[in-house]
Homo-oligomer: A and B are copies of this chain.
């Protein structure tokens, strides 16, 4: 950590900061510039954070040099992690297709989507039983009945299931049915939920908040990891706001973290015709997988129909992804 002093900071101000740091067991190196004096702090950064140095007289601001996340940081685990969801592996060796209905609406609809996913080479089935909807008047999901249907689809296709859980008290129930737990974009900073999924033994698919920085996203993953569950898949879904690294945040996340990073082009784009280009871009940019909405009759979908691919569309996209994987020396599993 670096403390930047104000132009008019006095020697006493500088000494006060240095002493506080030494009292906390750290070292303070003072560099006096023409305009600003800066103080470099050496020692346990976390402990310095609690000293309130930004409120000391003469202090202009603090600059954090290290990263606040630890367990999910690539810096401390240089080897990329592979996460297993049932029999399927998600990681940098492979390129994983996760597909299925946005929302489970009925047995027939879910099965059609699941079989289409399987036929197109998907190795994990997605599907929502609990749906976070902007409007209280929209379809909110089938709840536990949806979980049962997903289990039937797993039975039928052999694909493991990832599904969303929306609140802490549902975690146990959802974990008893699903192979992996999804935390949605609106819940990325639902800390009680993160703690609860962190206490299970099921892998967690953590979607990025639509206005979250990469750092906040990784801090959310840290909440999960800190509870003992480091089987985490990060899922990019596009953001609503400016960030320096706007377009290739998955690259940034991969540099910063050892966790696998996949992309959800369906929710990122919202329009059917943009899903395939984005999925192709994802693999070309280095993502570890994609997660795609499928519906046999998008016009009748109860949730996000405009972005759903038909099973036939998915099959075609899958061929492109295969060709690209080959060109890039990756294995499409």
- Where the two chains meet, the residues of A that have a C-beta atom closer than 8 Å to any C-beta of B are 2, 4, 7, 27, 29-36, 38, 40-46, 50, 52, 54-56, 63, 65-66, 68, 75, 132-137, 140, 166-169, 186-187, 189-193, 209-211, 216, 219, 222-223, 226, 238-242, 244-248, 251-252, 255, 268-270, 273-274, 277-278, 280-286, 298-302, 305-306, 320, 323-324, 326-328
Contact = CB atoms under 8 A, between A and B. Distances in A.
A52 B268 CA distance: 20
Given A34-B42, A63-B63, 18 more contacts: A31-B41, A33-B43, A46-B137, A52-B299, A52-B300, A52-B305, A55-B301, A132-B189, A140-B191, A168-B169, A211-B240, A246-B246, A247-B269, A248-B269, A248-B281, A251-B274, A281-B282, A324-B324
Contact of A192 (B41, B166, B226, B270): B166
A277 B268 contact: no
Given A33-B42, A186-B190, A248 B52 contact: no
Number of this chain's copies in the assembly equals 4
A299 B55 contact: yes
A267 to B, nearest CB: 11
Contacts of A301: 52, 55
27 contacts: A2-B2, A2-B40, A4-B65, A34-B44, A35-B65, A35-B66, A38-B40, A38-B65, A40-B40, A50-B302, A52-B305, A68-B135, A136-B219, A136-B226, A166-B191, A168-B169, A169-B169, A209-B211, A211-B241, A238-B247, A241-B241, A247-B281, A251-B278, A277-B285, A281-B284, A283-B284, A324-B328
Contacts of A33: 40-43, 45, 65-66
